[in-house]
Amino acid sequence: MFRRLAFAALLVGLSAPAAPAQILQFSVEPPAQVMRESLDMPFARVLMAEFAKSVEKHADPACLRSKNLDATALSERGRDLFERWGTKSMEALIGAFDAKRYEEKIAERAGPDAPRVLMQLRNDPVVQRYLALERPLRLVRVLNFVIEQFDRYVLITGIKLDSISPLSNGKDELLRADPSEMIEEALEKFVSDNPSPEFRQFYRLSELASELMPEAIDTDFALRTGPATFFRGVESDLAELCIVTR
């Protein structure tokens, strides 16, 4: 059940809203677009710099010199790597999600018109301001998931790289760079300052929708899925960065 909840939280990041218990009718954004936007964030640049430091520390120095791979180049190559493999990871998660079952569950709990009402409420000006405010949080959550899965794959396969996830390595500078807490505080203030009936209805229905999302995720997928599901084969890309994986 824990994995289904974790995957549901990530799928929220690929759908309309996220944040604590917010979601519209499920409609997926192109994973490649989401990953590009996630990697455009200042937080992502900090993580890519950390990835570059890890590669410089563990890679074959002569190989790095022969390929002119300095810190800047490694950071750029890291972005390419995570964009490609992160997109692949998101596509795998989407494939395990039953959107029809999801909408049926919402209709069962909130009434047959609930999915349509959620979509209509998205056009409300207050709801639109809210969604714009919380979008960076969705992007951060997607990025953190991808980075954490990479770290776990590196760990279980014995690849010589240091952890780059703030939650794993606990580095203060990385934790401070994560904007999640600041965004969540802004969202809480927005909710408390906006008593409009339309927004309250959206918020109430989206809480329910978020609660129901795990029920639409394939159980077998959740049980068998691990870091290797998302990053098996990344060794070839790391070899291009002079990391010996075997």
**How large a percentage of the chain has pLDDT more than 90?**
56
Q: Give 217's strand partners.
A: 97
pLDDT tens profile 44-98:
999 999 999 999 999 999 999 999 999 999 999 999 999 999 999 888 888 888 8
H or E element, residue 175: helix 172-177
Q: What is the pLDDT of residue 22?
A: 36
Cα separation of 35 and 53, whole Å? Answer: 22
pLDDT tens profile 25-51:
345 678 898 899 999 999 999 999 999
Residue 9 has pLDDT above 60, yes or no: no
Residue 103 has pLDDT above 50, yes or no: yes
Whole-structure pTM value: 0.86
Range in 13-27, 66-80, 193-207, 220-234 the model is least confident about: 13-27
Average the pLDDT over 3-12 and give the result. Answer: 51
Range in 55-59, 134-138, 149-153 the model is least confident about: 134-138
Q: What is the pLDDT of residue 208?
A: 86
Our separate counts of H helices and E strands in the chain read 15, 0
User: What are φ and ψ of residue 48, in 5° steps?
Assistant: -70, -35
Residue 231 has pLDDT above 90, yes or no: yes
Q: Give 97's strand partners.
A: 217
pLDDT tens profile 237-246:
999 999 987 6
- Tell me the H-state helices in 40-121: 42-58, 61-66, 71-95, 99-110, 114-121
Q: What is the pLDDT of residue 148?
A: 92
